[in-house]
Copies of this chain bind each other. A is one copy, B any other.
């Protein structure tokens, strides 16, 4: 087990109706003027945005709103938020939405008190040392951004999609999580969220670090819970308990508890980010294509952990070499993704004729010549993995 630091100070309020606590919680953070960030019209139509604004007003928190955050959020919206927040003199950000909204809110929170261009942090030119406090009302469980220190923003110039990870500064101070708000999520979005949270665990799980049994067992447990409850929410979108289990699983998948003590990988996310950037696909759906392909490559080159995954998580109960077990586990993983209505090939994803050389070029331009923590990959290998998605 490797040395690690673990600190997840986010205060989670979880359950029915918790969004009406927003004002009280935001006020308790000392925030008196908040920028409220949201996405499309669903937060307005569902009434959640109205309840949040009313709750903030009741708690005497002044607000200004910024709507229209899109999936795979762009730097433009962050800049718009920074300008609006400065103009209004906000001292905190409230995100009402899913990963794209929260990631945008985090970037605004880091950008407002910074003299330079916020993208400096994402480009690795500077390190965040100050940020406004962020509160979250979660409406889409998937990205885990409500508990993570991460923010993924795409720079329109060159469509560079970059994930910034901080230990501390970008973690929300408070997250209000009402599973009822997710009843009306469309099936495709629910399914993509399930894949995304599973990927967040698997990116950590497939590691070269030996002897991390406690982290393995926790990760396997969260994966099994997601699969069991995932089947339920697809069949019964208004099953409160299933939605609650999925929502909390999405947080645990990405708040760090599944990563303690080990080297992580994140190749699949990097490979998917290029698909999203080039073809505008839904992140979770892209991961459903990338992850089995990446894992198939791994079964050939480093099969022990994929075999453990097959036995413990996918319940493959057969004799055979590690590679054989691993391949059976991958087949079951694909079956599960298909059962959710997710694609498992690029064609099914709507990219029948991908420009693999361009994907590979962009990937290594953005992430370096050698990538991955589990098994080190260069362009010939990442090319092979993209081909496995065909």
Please list the residues of chain A having a beta carbon within 8 angstroms of any beta carbon in chain B: 1-16, 18, 179, 210-222, 224-226, 228-229, 240-242, 244-245, 248-249, 252, 257, 260-261
Asked if B15 and A214 sit within 8 Å, CB to CB, the answer is no
Residues of B within 8 A of A15 (CB): 1-4
Total copies of the chain: 2
12 chain-A/chain-B pairs, Cβ below 8 angstroms = A1-B15, A1-B241, A1-B248, A5-B12, A7-B9, A211-B241, A212-B245, A213-B245, A217-B222, A217-B225, A218-B222, A244-B261
Give the shortest distance, in Å, between A318 (CB) and chain B (any CB): 16
Residues of B within 8 A of A179 (CB): 1
Residues of B within 8 A of A245 (CB): 1, 211-214
Residues of B within 8 A of A225 (CB): 213-214, 216-218
Question: CA–CA, A2 to B248, complex, Å?
Answer: 12
Asked if A252 and B214 sit within 8 Å, CB to CB, the answer is yes
Asked if A217 and B213 sit within 8 Å, CB to CB, the answer is no
Asked if A228 and B241 sit within 8 Å, CB to CB, the answer is no
- Name which residue of chain B comes closest to A242, CB basis: B211
Residues of B within 8 A of A5 (CB): 11-14
Question: CA–CA, A5 to B11, complex, Å?
Answer: 7
Residues of B within 8 A of A6 (CB): 11-12, 14
| 7 closest cross-chain pairs (CB), A and B | A3-B15, A221-B221, A211-B241, A217-B221, A9-B9, A7-B11, A1-B244
Asked if A252 and B3 sit within 8 Å, CB to CB, the answer is no
- Name which residue of chain B comes closest to A10, CB basis: B7
Given contacts A12-B7, A248-B260, is CB(A224)–CB(B217) below 8 Å? yes
Residues of B within 8 A of A219 (CB): 221
**Max chain B CB contacts within 10 Å: which of A213, A219, A260, A261?**
A213
Residues of B within 8 A of A216 (CB): 225
Asked if A14 and B214 sit within 8 Å, CB to CB, the answer is no
Residues of B within 8 A of A16 (CB): 3
Contact of A14 among B222, B252, B261 (CB under 8 A): B261
Give the shortest distance, in Å, between A15 (CB) and chain B (any CB): 3
Question: CA–CA, A217 to B214, complex, Å?
Answer: 13
